[in-house]
Amino acid sequence: MATVTRAAPLRILCIHGYRQNSGSFREKTGALRKLLKKYVELVYMSAPHRVQQTGDAQGKENEVGPGGDEAPRGWWFSDTQARSFDAGQQCQASLGLEESVEAVRTAVKDLGPFDGVLGFSQGAALVAMLCSIQEQNLEPQFQFRFAILVAGFRSACLEHQGFYGSPAPLAIPSLHVFGQEDQVISDRMSRELLPLFQEPQVLTHPGGHFVPAASAHRQTYQEFLKRFQ
Phi, then psi, of 47 in degrees rounded to 5: -65, 155
Residue type, 37: K
Query: Any idea what DSSP says for residue 31?
Result: H
- Identify whether the C-beta of residue 63 lies closer than 8 Å to the C-beta of residue 209: yes
Residue type, 165: G
Residue type, 118: L
Query: Any idea what DSSP says for residue 178?
Result: E
Q: In whole angstroms, what is the distance from residue 180 CA to residue 189 CA?
A: 11
Largest distance between two CA atoms of the chain: 67
* Residues catalogued as catalytic: 121, 182, 209
- Identify whether the C-beta of residue 152 lies closer than 8 Å to the C-beta of residue 119: yes
The percent of the chain in helix, strand and coil, each rounded to the nearest 5, is 30, 20, 50
